[in-house]
Amino acid sequence: MKNGELVIDADGHILEPPDLWERYLEPRYRDRAIRIRRDGEGWEYLEIDGRPSKYSGRGALARLGSMGREIDRMKERRELWKAGKIDKPFIGITPEETYTKDLAFGAMDPSERLARLDQEGLSKAVIYPTIGIMWEPDCADVELTYAYCRAYNRWIVDFCRDSGGRLVPIAHISLADPALAVTELERAVKDGCKGAFCIPFTLTRKPHGHRDHDPVFAALQDLDVPLAFHPNGTEPPHLTVHQRFDGMRGPARVWYADMFVGAGTQMPFATMFAYGVFDKFPKLRVVVLESGAGWIGWWLDRADNLYKGTILGGALPLREPPSYYFARQCYISADPDEQRLALIADAVGADKFFWASDFPHSDHPANYMEELVELVRKMSPQAARGILGENVARAYKLM
């Protein structure tokens, strides 16, 4: 990018050290820490509250931080498969592949991450977890849920502390108990977190916009920090949006789920309108992450048309059409490979969009900087400046 240009990665990730929860949990919880274990056949698995995770199977931790490492090998296998020389293009996971093996530069170490930002010409990166978006479905104990959140939130502030504000910590909150969520939110923001995120489903099965969560929205508004909806790495079958079909297994299931991950995040976002949250909290800021952004134009058209032109509009306790609140209070992140975003950014609102790398997760391509350059080349100057960094800086008060 150009020298002096404000460029901020709105959704970067780190790989937490395997002993994070053992070190950062309060002493009374440490025997129940999140840990990485190996089974009798040598496979890594995630242990939560003393039990193997039910929703992230063995081998699920491998390659999480290896963005770009396997792409050449995958392309070679695809050509061999097309030529009939091997029976499948997918590269299977083996027990030898682990959480910390073959990490991309900057995936776990803060000094490396800063060096990577310099290499890529980035001003800042907003930081989200990896294990931290996997464990919550496995934790039935509400008290322990918040202990896990507190441990991560303390650690991520320490991880970012010496970066001169270039690594931006975001707190993990759960909606399992709104009062505890408020307490942790207030503590984490005071400690240095610039916002909070929650997963796209709730273990209580209450919609995110439900009035029982109003204390959390009030606290976010008072603290002047945004709430992000971020996809979860694992989902229980009874809570996922991906269980319409039986029999999908292996690589096909993983690809299918990744293709439609955005649907899961659209749902909690929609409940914020269904329950009139934006009228009740007019200064609350909400961010939709890692779900694509091109859909938002269609979504707002449909939401407005239902509100204005059908009997269903009476179901929404909103004083204004949904697009009004989106323009006033909401933001959405795009993958840099969404080249068609240039066609809708100005129409929807050039000040509404971020870009995000998802680094170092291997389900996104590693050439995100090349794709970002190509994307903003097609945009108006105002939209380009906004998506590169001005919008996320404004949303998270980073300027």
Judge whether 73 lies within some domain: no
Query: What average pLDDT score do residues 38-43 get?
Result: 94
State the residue range of the domain holding 143. Answer: 8-37+104-395
* Domain-embedded: residue 345: yes
Question: What local confidence, expressed as pLDDT, does residue 238 receive?
Answer: 73
State the CATH number of the domain containing residue 385: 3.20.20.140
- Per-residue pLDDT band for 57 (boundaries 50, 70, 90) equals confident
In a domain, 69, yes or no: no
pLDDT at 2: 67
The two structure tokens encoding residue 161: 């502390």
74 is a domain residue = no
What backbone torsions phi and psi does residue 168 show, to the nearest 5 degrees? Answer: -105, 115
Q: What local confidence, expressed as pLDDT, does residue 242 receive?
A: 65
Q: What is the pLDDT of residues 211-251, one digit of tens each?
A: 999 999 999 999 999 999 999 877 777 777 766 777 777 77
Q: Identify the top-confidence range among 45-54, 55-64, 73-82.
A: 45-54
Residue 1 above 70 pLDDT? no
- Rg (C-alpha) for the chain, rounded Å, is 21
Least-confidence region, from 22-26, 79-83, 195-199, 212-216? 79-83
> Taking residues 364-391, what's their average pLDDT?
94
Count other C-beta atoms under 10 Å from residue 279's C-beta.
13
Residue 82 predicted with pLDDT over 90: no
Average pLDDT of 12-21?
Answer: 97
CA of residue 54 relative to chain centroid, distance: 21
57 within some domain: no
Q: What is the average pLDDT score of the chain?
A: 92
The answer as to whether 138 is a domain residue is yes
Bridge partner list, 51: 48
Q: What is the pLDDT of residue 230?
A: 95
* Best CA proximity match to 35, nearest among 56, 15, 21, 14: 21
How far is residue 272's CA from residue 286's CA, in Å, rounded to a whole number? 9
For residue 363, what pLDDT band results from cuts at 50, 70 and 90? confident
Cβ(147)–Cβ(177) below 8 Å: no
pLDDT confidence of residue 120 = 96
Residue 67 lies in a domain: no
pLDDT in tens, 142-185: 999 999 999 999 999 999 999 999 999 999 999 999 999 999 99
Residues 181 and 62: their CA atoms lie apart, in Å, by 31
pLDDT digits (tens, 9 = 90+) for 94-142: 888 899 998 999 999 999 999 999 999 999 999 999 999 999 999 999 9
| pLDDT tier at 88, thresholds 50, 70, 90 | confident
Beta-sheet pairing, 44-48 with 35-38: antiparallel
Please, what is the angle between helix 295-309 and helix 261-274, to 10°? 30
Encoded amino acid at 367, one letter: N
What is the per-residue pLDDT across 302-350, written as a single tens digit (0 to 9) for each? 999 999 988 887 888 999 999 999 999 999 999 999 988 999 999 999 9
In DSSP terms, which residues pair with 128 in a beta bridge? Answer: 13
Q: Rounded to an integer, what is the distance from CA 356 to the centroid of its chain?
A: 10
pLDDT, position 257: 74
pLDDT in tens, 67-77: 877 776 777 77
Q: Is residue 156 assigned to a domain?
A: yes
The tally of domains found in the chain comes to 1
Residue 249 makes CB contacts below 8 A (sequence gap 6+) with none
Count of beta carbons in the 10 Å neighbourhood of residue 39: 11
